Amino acid sequence: MKFIVNSTTLLREIQKLNSVISTNNTLPILDNFLFEVNSSLMTIVASDLEVTMMSNISVESNSEGRITIPARILTDTLKTFSKEPLTFIIDLESYLIEIVSELGNYKLSGQNADEFPKTPKLSSSSSVVFNSEIFVNAIGKTLFASGNDDLRPVMSGVFCELSSEQTTFVATDAHKLVKHIRYDLKSEKSTSFILPKKPLQILKNNLDVDSDLKLEFNDTNVLFSFDNITLICRLIDGKYPNYDAVIPKENPNKLIIETKSLLNSIKRVSIYANKTTHQIRLKIAGSDLQISSEDLDFSNKAEERLVCQYEGVDMEIGFNSKFVIDMLNNIGSEKISLEMSSPNRAGIILPLDGLDEGENTLMLVMPVMLNN
């Protein structure tokens, strides 16, 4: 088998696929890319058994065949070339691979392509087409709030709820929650599923905002296709928690403030907080917001005052600063509203600007018990 390909084109595609390859694969062959050549079309595949990603590129070839090539040595080799044609000559019986450039040749061993896991096929699937920019925005607003607890796998992804009126994206780790609604993303068929974190991160990094993203899904798998890329992953199995039940409906105490000033203040004050609890204290009286923290073990203490707009009763409430910083970093608005009902109920953070038409975002953060 023989094919000629541009080094820059090949490097660009395998760098996308590299994000699938796990650092601790259970099967050694998963450290390889699968190359399938069919005349002038070549498909490159990477997999970690949970996620499979494929890329189609054009090559110069009159042959057909399949081989797996070690990912790391191929990537490192391609990085050293500027834009130039490379000829791959492959012996499909001994699995020896020779790469020929203008400067010399390089030999390495591949493996039998039949040992590479078969790509999952979706049967009896439904499909929907999303605008890529809107999808990336939704993932950016929610993914950070998903959990990492192996004992609660349903919380380790993003819950997607499709209907004829809207699409809702939800992520939570039981300490913080984000609910993001797009009224301009709709599906004829109402359904819901939980998308794992890894493929969403890959999509976020690789999606071209000008292209459309097609989703095909059934009860167990979802397939994303855009440009020359196809990505297939297993859905997270399980029932997502009733997230609406934890969102307080009556929040009469409302604080309005500039996102940047609040964020910078919390970043500074949290340096002095306890390194285990990351607790900060918000004390609100009239238009005066006092943010403080302390670490009694080291006699560390910090306090700042900000001016805000506030409607409600004077209040003192504690939050984990890491969670609040995460939310303010991802909310994408210059001003926010912090709505509260009481010091032992969740705080609601809402963006007051920066939203597209047909977009709605709600962020929730659980309070922490204050030490008086």
Residue 32 β-bridge partners: 70
For the chain, the C-alpha Rg in angstroms (whole number) is 25
- Is 215's pLDDT higher than 80? yes
Q: What is the pLDDT of residue 355?
A: 87
Sign of CA dihedral 304, 308, 312, 318: negative
- CATH superfamily assigned to domain 2-115: DNA Polymerase III, subunit A, domain 2 (3.10.150.10)
Q: What is the pLDDT of residues 299-344, one digit of tens each?
A: 999 999 999 999 999 999 999 999 999 999 999 999 999 999 999 9
- Is 136's pLDDT higher than 80? yes
Among the listed residues 52, 67, 43, 56, the one whose alpha carbon sits nearest the alpha carbon of residue 19: 52
Strands 279-285 and 288-295: what pairing?
antiparallel
Mean local confidence (pLDDT), 216-222: 93
Pick the CATH number of 248-368 from 3.10.150.10, 3.40.50.2000, 3.40.50.11540, 3.40.50.800: 3.10.150.10
Q: Between the CA atoms of 86, 87, 92 and 96, what dihedral angle is there, to the nearest 10 degrees?
A: -70
Query: Where are the CATH 3.10.150.10 domain residues in the chain?
Result: 2-115, 126-244, 248-368
What single-letter amino acid sits at 198?
K
Average pLDDT value over all residues in the chain = 95
Cα separation, 325 vs 310, whole angstroms:
21
Higher pLDDT, 120 or 43: 43
Q: What is the pLDDT of residue 25?
A: 87
Kindly indicate the confidence band of residue 372, based on its pLDDT and cuts at 50, 70 and 90: low
Which residues fall within 8 angstroms of residue 344, CB to CB, at 6 or more apart?
Answer: 367, 369
Mean local confidence (pLDDT), 91-120: 95
- Is 31's pLDDT higher than 70? yes
- Is 270's pLDDT higher than 80? yes
Mean local confidence (pLDDT), 134-146: 95
Mean local confidence (pLDDT), 174-195: 94
Residue 169 β-bridge partners: 160, 180
Q: What is the pLDDT of residues 152-173, one digit of tens each?
A: 999 999 999 999 999 999 999 9
- Is 371's pLDDT higher than 80? no
| Residue % of the chain over a pLDDT of 70 | 100
| Alpha carbon distances (Å) from 126 to 157, 193, 235 | 21, 12, 14
Q: What is the pLDDT of residue 211?
A: 86
pTM of the model: 0.92
Q: What is the pLDDT of residues 55-90, one digit of tens each?
A: 999 999 999 999 999 999 999 999 999 899 999 999
- CATH superfamily assigned to domain 126-244: DNA Polymerase III, subunit A, domain 2 (3.10.150.10)
